[in-house]
Amino acid sequence: MKNFESTITINKPAEVIFTFLADMNNHEQLMPKDDISEWRSTADEASFTIRNMIKLLLKIDERTPNSEIKIIPAEKPPFEMELKWTLTPVENGTEVLFVIAADLNMMMKMVASGPLQKLADDETANLLNLLN
């Protein structure tokens, strides 16, 4: 598995960030607008298309109150993947770590590594802008 990670610190308590991230309806606001289309969601699932790549249906697999949210594919994707948000209280708020773990073959690594890292960075930057 290859990990694509992005970390930020938000000046809010973990409970506020967890409540936002625990609802998949809110995740559309975190996505890069130019790269995502056909968004549909409920509190537990979201489906969307990543431009020039793939259509995904994701679901929240685990919610650990105020500390972690694990998201996995609800349908078989072209490669195994897991998304995880980890919240750690720090002095002035909460450190947020977002990890996209993807099992990519050599060909997919060349094609998807850049877009997946950009997605991780965009999601955390958008979360920071929304909640700070």
- Domain residue spans of the chain: 2-131
Closest to 47 measured CA to CA, from 29, 25, 69: 25
Query: CB-based contacts of 49: which residues, under 8 Å, 6+ apart?
Result: 36, 37, 38, 55, 56
pLDDT of residue 35: 79
With respect to CATH, is domain 2-131 assigned 2.30.40.10? no
Integer Cα distance of 49 and 37 in angstroms: 5
Integer Cα distance of 81 and 1 in angstroms: 8
For residue 89, what pLDDT band results from cuts at 50, 70 and 90?
A: very high
CB of 4 within 8 A of CB of 122?
A: no
17 or 106, higher pLDDT: 17
Evaluate if pTM is beyond 0.85: yes
pLDDT of residue 72: 96
